[in-house]
Every structure is written in C-alpha cells, then in structure tokens.
C-alpha cells in the first residue's frame, strides 16, 4: 500500500497544516466532515490524518490491523488533493501520545503556531488527562469541533484557565504569534467507529456512514465481522 511517510510533512515550513489523529477503526464520514470544517475555518493548506498505533485512552487495541486502517484512510481521502496520511505514530512502538507527535513535528522544523490539531469537543473534554498537559496546548493550536450536543462549557467551567486561550473566528493567515484554541461549530454526520463496528458485527449495512470505497474494502476483506 502506498503510504505517505511522515518525512513528507517536512517539505514545506510556511504553511498551516491540520493534524487529525485517531484510531480510525474505521475512518468514517464524521472524520471527513470534521477535517473539511477545520480546513475551511482556519484556512489550512493541508490536513494529515495520523492513525494511532496504541491509543492511550483506549483499554483495547484497534480491531483492524495497522495495514488495514491505513489502507482505509488512503481510500477515504483519495479524492481530496490536500489530504495526506502520516504513519509517524504507527512506526512508534510506545503509546501514541499526541504530545510526542507534536514534538516530532517541531524537530522537523514546524513551528507550534503552524500546527492545528483537530479533535471533537468530546475528546477535548479529556484534555487535562492527556500526557504532558498543559504543555501540549503550547505545542500546537487546537481546533475543537463542536457538534450537536457537544460543547466546551462544562470543561471551561471546571478549568477556567482554558478560557484565556480561546480565540474567535475568522483568524487571518499568519496572524498568530502564540497557540490558541479555536471553536468550530459545524454540522457533522452523527456516526462513530464503535457504531459502525457494531453494525458490521451484526451483518447490517453501513451505507452512508463511510465512503463507498471504504465500505467496499471492508466487505471484501470481511473486516469487523465476528
């Protein structure tokens, strides 16, 4: 499988890049919706999908192999010219900490102000439990996707120190001199990888929840079946 290696992310140092991490087990329409919303809101040049090898916030490892998950991402983003895949975390044998990934990007020449880590409000609600918190907030900008029923009010109430980092949109390109938290309200399809795996286990269709090429590959290789 042709996989865009992490080293490719070091070729240009003047752009804003989005970093979308996750297990992608499997990748689905919601991931693509979040990427598109972040790219539009913050004028990102490219978005790199970074599948985790050993997710620190999951008690069990991904069901699909690294090879299959990477292939599914490649298929899902094949029609998007500005979307890439990085195997930086797949090549790291220890836990897939975001902080380590961001520090690797810094070592490759990217400034923290150029990086925009994309995640949902539900994931960001656990930010205080992340490895190397609160430093991780200074290693990249964060784009928090607020979907229906998921907002940041509860975590900000518990951690008011985060409120000073939140910036409003729009944000002009190259106008940042320190990392910020950007809230992006958007409409994304209500779907989760857990739901998709459950449907597949039961032999039910997943039409409309994943790109067609992804669904076809899953069926061809009988992924997520009992």
Q: Any idea where the domains of the chain sit in the sequence?
A: 14-220
Mean pLDDT confidence for 68-94: 95
Is pLDDT at 151 greater than 90 in this prediction? no
Predicted pLDDT at 171: 65
Predicted pLDDT at 12: 54
Predicted pLDDT at 4: 43
Predicted pLDDT at 122: 85
Predicted pLDDT at 148: 65
In CATH, the number for domain 14-220 is: 3.40.50.620
Is pLDDT at 97 greater than 90 in this prediction? yes
SS (H, E, C) the chain: CCCCCHHHHHCCCCCCEEEEEECCCCCCHHHHHHHHHHHHHHCCCEEEEEECCCCCCCCCCCCCCHHHHHHHHHHHHCCCCCEEECCCCCCCCCCCCHHHHHHHHHHCCCCHHHEEEEEEHHHHCCHHHCCCCCHHHHCCEEEEEECCCCCCHHHHHHCHHHHHHEECCCCCCCCCCCCCEEEEECCCCCCCHHHHHHHHHCCCCCECCECHHHHHHHHHCCCCCC
Predicted pLDDT at 185: 85
Is pLDDT at 99 greater than 80 in this prediction? yes
Of 121 and 10, the one with more pLDDT: 121
Mean pLDDT confidence for 15-20: 95
The per-residue pLDDT of the chain, averaged, comes to 88
Is pLDDT at 196 greater than 70 in this prediction? yes
Predicted pLDDT at 224: 96
Predicted pLDDT at 8: 46
Of 118 and 61, the one with more pLDDT: 118
């Amino acid at each position: 499988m042709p996989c865009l290696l992490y080293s490719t992310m070091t070729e240009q140092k003047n752009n804003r890049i989005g970093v979308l991490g996750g297990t992608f087990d499997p990748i689905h329409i919601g991931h693509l919706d979040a990427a598109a919303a972040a790219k539009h809101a913050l004028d990102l040049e490219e978005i790199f999908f970074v599948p985790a090898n050993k997710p620190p916030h999951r008690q069990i490892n991904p069901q699909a192999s690294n090879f299959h998950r990477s292939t599914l991402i490649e298929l899902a983003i094949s029609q998007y010219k500005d979307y890439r895949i990085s195997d930086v975390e797949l090549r790291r044998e220890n836990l897939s900490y975001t902080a380590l990934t961001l520090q690797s990007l810094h070592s490759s020449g990217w400034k923290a102000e150029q990086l925009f880590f994309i995640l949902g409000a539900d994931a960001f609600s656990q930010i205080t439990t992340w490895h190397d918190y609160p430093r991780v907030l200074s290693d990249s900008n964060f784009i928090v996707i607020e979907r229906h029923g998921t907002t940041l009010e509860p975590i900000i109430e518990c951690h008011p120190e985060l409120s000073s980092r939140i910036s409003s949109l729009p944000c002009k390109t190259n106008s940042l001199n320190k990392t910020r938290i950007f809230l992006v309200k958007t409409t994304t399809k209500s779907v989760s990888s857990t739901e998709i795996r459950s449907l597949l286990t039961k032999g039910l269709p997943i039409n409309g929840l994943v790109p067609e090429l992804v669904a076809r590959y899953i069926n061809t290789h009988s992924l997520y079946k009992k």
